Amino acid sequence: MNITDLNDDCLYQICSYLSIHDMVELHSTCTRFAFITDRFFSTQRHLIIGMRTAQLDKMDRLLQCIGAYLTSVTIWIGYLMPENMVLPILLPVSKFCTNLKRLTVNFMKMEVKYKKLLMAVTSNVEFLDISCCDIDDDDADLLLSCKKVKTLTLNGNDRFRGLCLPQLTSLKHLIAKHSTGIHHYILEELRKRNVKIDDGT
């Protein structure tokens, strides 16, 4: 008896003990396993990517399999990470994660090329967290690309003055602790629109 002679539920149960990276490898072995692993991939909604645990050489294939199903991605980079370690994460995210509602990118210096990759997936994002990314007002295009953003978290971005924030017409909640550069009058303008402001004061 071959393992592929088992019914779908049995195979799915067996596969459930595998890591997601193992499932990605299994996916390409035969059409039967492709069907079973696709069933698992379709249940995935949230992915956390940290530099300490990320398998960069497998990121493209992983997101090719599950990216379209994800609604939430969290990425922790690190300020000192070189481009050749950051791009293997951001490139497949920008290519395959096309249905995101929630995007978190923390501790990444917002280089222009990184920002453009993120903008490829922000059109439907409702919850954006770019805390500790050293953004300034030149990065307004990233925020303005989030046309449906409801909650924006900008903790730890002292250089950002917030000049573009009044243009975020869908914004309901701004979290900006330790972001002392945002002009007071802009915060007041947002409050008049009944935007909830959490600036740590």
Is the domain of 169 the same as that of 141? yes
Is the domain of 39 the same as that of 90? no
3-state SS class at 115:
helix
Residue 184, pLDDT score: 94
Is the domain of 88 the same as that of 142? yes
Is the domain of 26 the same as that of 60? no
Is the domain of 152 the same as that of 114? yes
Is the domain of 190 the same as that of 102? yes
Residue 119, pLDDT score: 98
Model pLDDT for residues 155-178, shown as the tens digit of each residue: 999 999 999 999 999 999 999 999
CATH code, domain with 3: 1.20.1280
Is the domain of 78 the same as that of 24? no
**47 neighbors 72 (Cβ within 8 angstroms):** yes
How large is the average pLDDT for residues 83-88?
Answer: 94
Is the domain of 26 the same as that of 77? no
How large is the average pLDDT for residues 123-134?
Answer: 97
Q: Which domain holds residue 12?
A: 1-43
Q: φ, ψ for residue 194 (rounded to 5)?
A: 65, 30
Q: How many domains does the chain have?
A: 2
Is the domain of 39 the same as that of 57? no
Is the domain of 90 the same as that of 23? no
pLDDT at 30 over 80: yes
11-25, 100-114, 137-151: range with lowest mean pLDDT: 11-25
Joined together, the tokens standing for residue 111 give 């280089």
**90 neighbors 69 (Cβ within 8 angstroms):** no
Residue 1, pLDDT score: 61
Is the domain of 91 the same as that of 108? yes
Is the domain of 3 the same as that of 84? no
Joined together, the tokens standing for residue 192 give 């008049």
Joined together, the tokens standing for residue 156 give 């730890």
